[in-house]
Structure 1
Amino acid sequence: MDRNSIWGLVIIGAILIGYTYLTKPSEEEIKAMQTRDSIARVERLRNEQLETERVEALKKQYAEKKQDTAALQSEYGAFAGAVQQKEEIITLENKLVKISINTLGGKIANVELKDYKTHDAEKLMLWGEKNSKFGLAFYAQNKAMNTQDLYFTPVNSVKTVDASTAQQVVNMRLNAGEGKYIEYKYSLEPDSYMLGFDINVVGMQDVIALNQRDLTFNWAADIPSQEKGRKFENQYTNIYYKFFEDDVDNMSASGEDEESLSTKVKWIGFKQQFFSSVLIADDSFKGIELKSVDMDETSPILKNFSASISLPYQGSQLENYPMNFYFGPNKYKTMRKYGKDIELHALVDLGWKMFAWVNKWFVIPIFNFLENHIASYGIIILILTIIIKLILAPLTYKSYMSTAKMKVLKPQIDEINERIPKDKAMERQQATMALYKKAGVNPMGGCLPMLVQFPILIALFRFFPSSIELRQKSFLWAEDLSSFDAIVSWDAHIPLLSTFYGNHISLFCLLMAITNLVYTRMNSQMQSTNQMPGMQTMMYLMPLMFLFWFNSYASGLSYYYFIATLFTVAQTWAIRKYMVDEDKVLATIEANKKKPVKKSKFQQRLEEAAKQRGYKPPKK
């Protein structure tokens, strides 16, 4: 990094800190925000209570009207029989998932992932049942109907506990008369995270309104917090969707967001940091409304996700809508098994396309290979770091050599600057470049190695926080490599510190900052003759800023950066002590200066063109 880069980063950081400080709310505004939040919480609790009361009232109403067939027929028409059922839970289960299906609405009540637990060792449920919605909305007999309020009847109830060898199937039917029903067919394969889900509308052409052109499938769920670091987890929790035969996109991960999708969509995913619930069309969906709402920080719920999907309805004897649900981990290797064309693995955040290829074709294969042979993920990260640093060692050496050449040329560059005044900047630059050319030194020689390493740096920045393999895996003092490794924590809210740093100290983050300070010190000693007064102090700001940026990040990422920087320090020391002699470097440069400078054909043409225009090069 040169002086301008460091100045730029310092100024950007100062602007961000200053902007945050200047725009922070006043005490009155904070109180007003707290009041609004309290009102919002009360309103949400009130709505939940109203919803509970509505369901209870419906149940009571159904019970009261059980004997009043005429009243039921008048209010519910063909669906009168659907209010005289008993609520029951049907379970589909294999070695990986346990799916509970409620006869009220025929809906998926909740999904348990059996191989995983929450950060506090509770069962891992993908969503909360209380505010979940799951059902078809349509008009029948001039009334708005919603299947989630009616009882389905299990046709072939499957209660098998172990389905290691056979497929499990259950058909939930909402009857509307002889040969007339809406059916949800669920099918679960052994050892699979994929649940088959078909909607069949049979003989309903005389029940559903004649002018109905679409049925609306509503799916909504409260997304609970599963990880230790809520703020960090929240950044990776949002709605994703894949356009049909096209790219994957996502909604904003912060605040409230809504989107209307009119183009074809292959799937919609309610994504958490390490787990996802994905509704996949056999063909495609079209006409989709999506909404994401953040919950209060004190709530066990992170967000509420909702999707409304238009299913085309032709009024035929049989309307079939085949789909699948994926309920499982955001694990790259697992998701790839369900088809490259579906691209479920895009839910694993590997970074932008220009960096994701590094993870796909380099980091992940090495990581998977090491994972098959080594049990400790801390050791895996260590070996992965060493492999990367050894591969990049030639570039590190080339970068150091370029710095060494620039250092030994510094006295001659100073002589040029003293001889040529500042107002002749072009002449000074030409003389400096002529010196570089004669000496055989490329001033940009240290930049290319850094550019090559940059995609790897960014790729790993995305890889570690998204790797479910590190979830709840301990190493040394870190209990969970996918979350922060706090050695000290406190509950008190400290203005600015709690906002920018957090309420804990992560040891791997601290070690990473220290090793970066050491490396900065080594570089400043190497480049001290090239720096302006006070420049060294500025260079130390970047490692200190790492403390604020990475304190709440995955400890596996901080551990990697710590090991990588430590290895770089060792490499730099070894190169300086055993491989580079500045006197020999200077002698080589002086020998190069005595050799005739070879001009490329392109340079010769440029000089010839300049002569024709009357340009005279400066005297040496």
Structure 2
Amino acid sequence: MESQRTFLFIGLMLVSFLLFQEWNSDYNAPKVDPSANTQTLKSNSLNSDDYIPSSADGELPTAATSAKRSVIEVTTDVFTVKIDTRGGDIVESDLLQYEEVKGEETPFMLLGEFDGNQYFSQSGLAGLNGPDASTEGRPVYSTEQKSFTLKGDELRVPLTFTDSNGVTFTKTYVFKKGQYDVALEYTVNNVTNSPIQVQLYTQVERTIQEKGSLVDQNYLGAAYGSADEPYEKYSFSDMADKNLSINTTGGYIAFIQHYFVSAWVPAQDQQNTLYSVIKNGTAAIIGTKAEPVNIQAGTQAKISATYYMGPKESDKLEALHPNLDLTVDYGWLFFISQPLFELLKFLYSGEGSFFGLFDISIGGLGNWGLAIIAITIIVKSLMYPLTKAQYTSMAKMRALQPKMAALKEKYGDDRQKFGQATMEMYKKEKVNPMGGCFPILLQMPIFLALFYVFLESTELRHAEFFLWLTDLSAKDPYYVLPILFGASMFITQKLQPMTVTDPMQQKMMTFMPVIFSVFFLWFPSGLVLYWLVSNLISIAQMLYIYRGMEKQGIKVRG
């Protein structure tokens, strides 16, 4: 295969992949009919297939009403949380260890009202006698204080409501030091002379949002896991098409965005219903509904679930649910991306486990930029046999060009005879015309897997490298890396054996470095750093391979 055409093939594959991502993005904001798929709270419909617990009035809280909202403030070492006394919902969560903007002290707001959008977590007890099923609206809880601060390892925030029959509902959030998961515990004290029935629901509501640009290809939308489906995305458009309704043992639901996730994990030893709904044409809901719980007269019952709101860190998510770590979405190449990410973390920290058999602890690099360079060197070194086969095949094909020209002149327009003679020449010279293509195809999954690792890893958010590169998750502010990448791509072109003679193809190849440099201007600098280092290593490997071949008398460049 001609080397320049092979190089063009790589470039077109990359561009095509990104364009396909843009076209196939399943999280576009759908055009929703406000009347379509909209459900409201139904108090006595436990056996109805279309039962979807919703918020108090069937309406989302608005910016106008938020100012009147009575909230309880909770502060831990990892976030500040605001809990609405009406319904006991988490209406705001600021992550204290993550900045909203690099270099500023404002913490990252995960839940809340921002940029005209709303994102919050709801939970309640519906069912025949649940306070959230009342026609009078959702319950207003009371607390002994309006603010709570974590001072030890655990903080319990109890909210209490007593209905008109004297039944007491205590909704308690349990916060723990250093953890982003919050336990939800309901204690129901039935002091009446009759049995009651309640049903726990947990859900996340979010304003339907437009997706990002071509460069920002990170998924924004819902996901769920069930006994049959470990991880399945359920985008805004999916919800607009059809409400989710799955009965499963255990399971979970989540809303995913770049670097962060919020997820409800219900009790895993019982049957749960996973559901979704588009509400009022502007908000998307995904949630879980537990089995009804019967509480006999004069007895108590406890009902629980777990809510996670924080960074997409695989270890912490997997500890809550075996499949929740899949929300760290490495795409279909996850089986390659996951070990590569573990290697990247090991290079950074110097600590890790070897296939889970034993732990390793050595001095790490302590810099994510250096870790990216190191993993690039390792990957390129491991793939060196493929690279050598690729460049060797290219050089041999270049050496056969005079013989190819002679065959073309001999057989003229007789393509059949020309093809037969060409194949005989390849066989005689022991040259595989596809030898330059197969190594590239084998390397592409590795490159794409690393692409997802750098794009999805929370650890790289706001990570510094050196000098002007203070955030590897953001574009290079001075475009130095994209320019250097273009220069390295140009040098790579010049070093490769030139076989293209068509003027149009030559022009395309000439402008490829410029096109890709412009394209990479808005890429995260960590990704561009990886491609730049990869190109520089390729140049070094190419020079080494070609020097060895020239010593053997094989003409590499004309």
Unaligned residue ranges in structure 1 (runs of 5+): 21-46, 60-86, 296-303, 488-505, 588-620
Q: Based on CA coordinates, which of the two structures has the bigger radius of gyration?
A: 1
Note the C-alpha offset of 1:560: 0.9
What are the within-5 Å matches in structure 2 for residues 355-434 of structure 1?
Answer: 355-372=333-350, 373-423=364-414, 425-434=415-424
Q: CA offsets, 1:1-53, max 9 Å, x none?
A: 75499489779979x99xx9xxxxxxxxxxxxxxxxxxxxxxxxxx9997735
Q: CA offsets, 1:158-217, max 9 Å, x none?
A: 9343223xx332332321156513332322233322211134555399999x9x996655
Q: CA offsets, 1:576-611, max 9 Å, x none?
A: 2x3111763489xxxxxxxxxxxxxxxxxxxxxxxx
Determine helix, strand or coil for the equivalent of 2:223.
strand
1:134–1:148: 8 Å Cα contact kept in structure 2?
no
1: CA distance between counterparts of 2:384 and 2:111? 47
Does residue 330 of the first structure (1) align with residue 312 of the second (2)?
Answer: yes
1: CA distance between counterparts of 2:530 and 2:434? 28
Aligned to 1:460: 450
Does residue 448 of the first structure (1) align with residue 463 of the second (2)?
Answer: no
Determine helix, strand or coil for the equivalent of 1:535.
helix
1:381–1:560: 8 Å Cα contact kept in structure 2?
yes
Aligned to 2:185: 198
Residue type of the alignment partner of 1:559: L
Does residue 527 of the first structure (1) align with residue 510 of the second (2)?
Answer: no
2: CA distance between counterparts of 1:232 and 1:175? 52
CA 1:392–1:308 in structure 2 vs 1: closer, same or farther (change >3 Å)?
A: closer
The partner residue of 1:581 within 543, 550, 557 is 550
Aligned to 1:306: 285
Does residue 220 of the first structure (1) align with residue 205 of the second (2)?
Answer: yes
Q: CA offsets, 1:242-279, max 9 Å, x none?
A: 22353312234789856522224611112221121111
2:274–2:286: 8 Å Cα contact kept in structure 1?
no
Note the C-alpha offset of 1:219: 3.5
Residue type of the alignment partner of 2:326: A
For normalisation by structure 1, the TM-score amounts to 0.67
Aligned to 1:163: 152
1: CA distance between counterparts of 2:147 and 2:132? 34
2: CA distance between counterparts of 1:216 and 1:507? 51
Aligned to 1:76: none
Determine helix, strand or coil for the equivalent of 1:174.
strand
Does residue 106 of the first structure (1) align with residue 88 of the second (2)?
Answer: yes
Q: CA offsets, 1:332-379, max 9 Å, x none?
A: 34434x15x522221222221xx2222212343244233331222222
Residue type of the alignment partner of 2:224: Y
Aligned to 2:521: 551
Residue type of the alignment partner of 1:127: L
1:171–1:186: 8 Å Cα contact kept in structure 2?
yes
2: CA distance between counterparts of 1:408 and 1:234? 42
Determine helix, strand or coil for the equivalent of 1:551.
helix
Note the C-alpha offset of 1:557: 0.2
Aligned to 1:126: 110
CA 1:484–1:146 in structure 2 vs 1: closer, same or farther (change >3 Å)?
A: farther
2: CA distance between counterparts of 1:222 and 1:429? 61
2: CA distance between counterparts of 1:540 and 1:442? 27
Task: Give the share of equivalent positions with the same residue, in percent.
Answer: 24
Which stretch shows the higher mean deviation, 314-323 or 141-150?
Answer: 141-150
2:239–2:284: 8 Å Cα contact kept in structure 1?
no
Note the C-alpha offset of 1:429: 1.8
For normalisation by structure 2, the TM-score amounts to 0.74
Note the C-alpha offset of 1:292: 9.5
CA 1:221–1:366 in structure 2 vs 1: closer, same or farther (change >3 Å)?
A: closer
2:169–2:186: 8 Å Cα contact kept in structure 1?
yes
1: CA distance between counterparts of 2:310 and 2:132? 38
Residue type of the alignment partner of 1:584: G
Bigger relative contact order (CA 8 A; separation at least 6): 2
Unaligned residue ranges in structure 2 (runs of 5+): 23-58, 351-363
Q: CA offsets, 1:476-522, max 9 Å, x none?
A: 322311011222xxxxxxxxxxxxxxxxxx33223222321221232
CA 1:463–1:133 in structure 2 vs 1: closer, same or farther (change >3 Å)?
A: closer
2: CA distance between counterparts of 1:293 and 1:480? 39
2: CA distance between counterparts of 1:215 and 1:480? 42
2: CA distance between counterparts of 1:334 and 1:316? 34
The partner residue of 1:345 within 315, 325, 335 is 325
Q: Flag the structure with higher helix content.
A: 1
2: CA distance between counterparts of 1:192 and 1:143? 28
Aligned to 1:278: 263
2: CA distance between counterparts of 1:141 and 1:327? 26
Note the C-alpha offset of 1:306: 2.5
1: CA distance between counterparts of 2:150 and 2:506? 66
Aligned to 2:229: 246
Q: CA offsets, 1:408-452, max 9 Å, x none?
A: 1122222222222434x3332222111111111111211222122
2:492–2:535: 8 Å Cα contact kept in structure 1?
yes
